[in-house]
Structure 1
Amino acid sequence: MLYSSLICRLKSQHLALSEIVNHLDEKRLNHQPEPGKWSIKDNIAHLVIYQHVFIGRVHQMLKGGTPAFNAYRADDEPDFLQARELPLIELNRKLIGNRRQILELITNLPDDDLLLQGTHPKYGTLTITEWTEFFLLHEAHHLFTIFKLAKG
C-alpha cells in the first residue's frame, strides 16, 4: 500500500530545510515579505506544528469511523504562536524528531489500516496513505515557499 516514492519523501523531504536556511541570519529568517504573510521562520514553525496535527489525525483514523476534520488554520493556534518564538535550532530538532515518529507510525501500519479513512473538508474522504501524500505535498509547498523567501 505504501509506494516507494512516498516512503522516500517521508524519510528525507524535510531534510532539505536545513540546506535552504543554514546560511540565513535571524533578520532574514524573521522577515515578513508583506504584512500578514509568514516569514521563513513562521513557515518552519507551521511545518513543526502540522506534524503533530497529522499524527493526531492518523490516530483518529485508526480508531475507525471515518472522522471528519476541519481545515487547519495555524494563525491563531496557541501551539503555532509558541513555536514561532523558538530558535531555529529547536524548530529543526522538533521537525526531525516528529518526522521519526511519523515515519515509524506510517511504515509500521498493516495494509488494512492504511485503508482507513478520514474526511478532508476540501478533498473529501482519503485513506491514511492518501493523507500521508497530502501531508508531504503540503510540506513541499511550504519548503518551496521557504526556498523562494530565502532566495528573494
Structure 2
Amino acid sequence: MRVGLISDTHGLLRPEALAFLAGADHIVHGGDIGGPEILERLAAVAPLTVVRGNNDTAPWARAIPETVRVDFGSVALYAIHDLKLLDIDPRAAGVRIVVSGHSHRPACVERDGVLYVNPGSAGRRRFSLPIAAGELIIDGDAVRARLVTLIP
C-alpha cells in the first residue's frame, strides 16, 4: 500500500505535488490546508485523511479534527499538525507512524519503534526550505518512508 503524505499547502496545490501523489492508495494531509478546494482535489486522487492546522481557522475547517488515527491493516498511523502538541504516547497506543506538519521542514526519524514523518511543505515556500512531500510504503507490518523534494 502506498500512502501519500502532504502538508502545509496553505491554499496552493502545486502540479508537482499532484503528480507525485498520483497512484497513491490513500493520502494523509498534515494540516494548514488553506481551503476546501485543496481537499476536493486531493480526494479525487485517493481516499483522504486530514487534520486541521493552526491556520485552518475559517468556518469550512471547523469539522476537521485536530488529530486522527487511521489503521492500514495492522499498522496504525496518527496524524497531528504540530508535533509539539502530541497528546498521546504513540508506542503505548499501538501507533507505528506519526505524521505531522507545521514546521515546513521535511523530516523522518524513528524513535522507540515509532516512525515520525513530516513531509514538509508542498505549498507556499517558507524561508529557504524545499517544497516537499512524502510517501509511506506499507507491506504487512513493514513500513518504509520516503521524502521527496518537489522543488529545491
- Aligning the two structures, in what range does the TM-score lie when normalised by the shorter sequence? under 0.3
TM-score when normalising by structure 1:
0.26
Counting helix residues as a fraction of each chain, which structure ranks higher? Answer: 1
TM-score when normalising by structure 2:
0.26
Q: Rg: which structure is higher?
A: 1
Flag the structure with more relative contact order, 1 or 2, with Cα contacts below 8 A and sequence separation at least 6. Answer: 1
